[in-house]
Structure 1
């Protein structure tokens, strides 16, 4: 998922917070905490928002070989709540000082099921203070959506509106994956779903995963020319919206073909310096973690030092309950 890389990391003392890291892959497997902590140390990543994957890929009876990724064949994806159990167990086994580096997000629920809010509430009450956010919530997600068992989840469906009320009650940010369009439409096809969620839940801090882009959108559409002005308008109109600059935004948006920063995006970062966060979006394997997060350095180096520090570290920590309550 993060194999397309980008720019050579710069050798300097900058540290980072990774705001979007999956401990497991689509088969609920992981390289483990030892590999993750080593990769974080090498990449100068002080903290990570860590989450499972809310779905699992089926190895279909008719397939002689296990697929390597969710798009490896046409078998279904199904909702998988045990992902949160795996994550919590892995964190609880760490030393206390290691545990403090992780900001766990709860993700193992069906985002089209109106029972989801009750499930989340029970899970939060079982472990008070442990979970620091909700997500990554899968709604519109190109091929993931196409392979999902059951109805298509939306950012503004009744089930998610109930989830947002729980998020507000527990002061938890929501990392939301909601693609801005489909693989074939060059317009913001699904914008209304996101905007309704934002406007009806002004007391919820929404982190929009890679600003509604994805690998599959890029594969079919390259750059979406409406994305920059749309993000600018949404930030202006919705104070509760934050943008996750995961790797799918780096090219072709933040960097050009020569790996030079896009001045229009730089201007947007300076206009809204507290509203952007970094994310690697790695999935269960961590060998490229440092390179991925440091691939944002050409962008950060082109910004004023205080803006770069905010995007690399401070903005995400400000969204997290245990940091906000200090």
Structure 2
């Protein structure tokens, strides 16, 4: 073990010595164009922030639910957790995404990769709805997600059954994703706010095992800011990911902003050598995302926050995580002429 630790320290030192010459170009693999009220700062603002932050590509998705402003609430909420009012599945979010995409000049469309998200993941008709959307705009949609399954307090605010990544309705969606060669991004919490064990892990493993031809992106690696508020750091997360990445070649990890601390960087901003080792072992299976929600001013700060971690990776791996890995999992047809 001391030898391994020494090797990791030397590896980090060598990586840091060459990091000053790196300039990263980014793909934001986790971006919501609208917020929980289906509102957006707009494409002009998004393009401006992308240019400022050297972000060349973005995953463009909506929010699959809308937060209700209940007549009993004294003021309009600002976030889904702002009050006790419910949220409800909102299919029109994809209409908003398609409209925003179609307003772009053709030469800009190659930078945007729309994902379908506006469906109820407990509805056995969800796959039929998704198929209609795909047929209405051939070639526009390049992925499915972010699909909300276990999602902190939001799960309890939505009427109906708690959505699970392994339910039968989503199994039908996964078959459709395989048919159209679409990656699927899942928000599936690995545990609850209180349980210090991988309570819901089986729900994520089942689709990975049962649908080997589907490329799954696990949003935040099953974590969330709300879990961190209650549990700080999940001590089982790293070993769980080590096992799963080896067992499931169709698993990809979204290292969006809530993963930065307490996992990738410590309180002093130093990269965690064990996470560096994991990403270096599977350099094509990780990607970055800002997870901004309808407003884009923080994009650059969030993406640049990963630079100390990227600098500690081998150069090729760092550029893959920053930009190329997300592009590599998109359907092959995405490289063709952008949808009109």
Match of 2:5 in 1: none
Match of 1:171 in 2: 181
Match of 2:162 in 1: 152
1:230-281, Cα deviation, whole Å (9 max, x unpaired): 0110000000000000011100000001010000000001100010011110
Shift of 1:14: 1.5
Match of 2:106 among 87, 96, 110: 96
CA distance in 2, matches of 1:110, 1:241: 23
Q: Is the 8 A contact 1:132 1:322 kept in 2?
A: no
CA distance in 1, matches of 2:285, 2:323: 12
Match of 1:162 in 2: 172
TM-score normalised according to structure 1 size: 0.95
Name the SS for the 1:179 alignment partner. coil
CA distance in 1, matches of 2:212, 2:332: 21
CA distance in 2, matches of 1:23, 1:101: 14
Q: Is the 8 A contact 2:121 2:148 kept in 1?
A: yes
Match of 1:282 among 252, 273, 292: 292
Matching of residue 55 in structure 1 with residue 49 in structure 2: no
Residues 1-326 of structure 1: pairs in structure 2 closer than 5 A: 13-322=23-332
Q: How many residues align?
A: 317
Name the SS for the 1:31 alignment partner. coil
Which structure has the greater CA radius of gyration? 2
Q: Is the 8 A contact 2:139 2:334 kept in 1?
A: no
Name the Cα RMSD after superposition.
Answer: 1.2
**Which consecutive aligned stretches of 4+ in structure 1 deviate over 6 angstroms post-superposition?**
none
Name the SS for the 1:258 alignment partner. coil
The 3 A distance-change label for structure 1 pair 42 and 325 is closer
Shift of 1:61: 0.9
Name the SS for the 1:267 alignment partner. helix
Name the SS for the 2:317 alignment partner. helix
The 3 A distance-change label for structure 1 pair 43 and 95 is same
TM-score normalised according to structure 2 size: 0.91
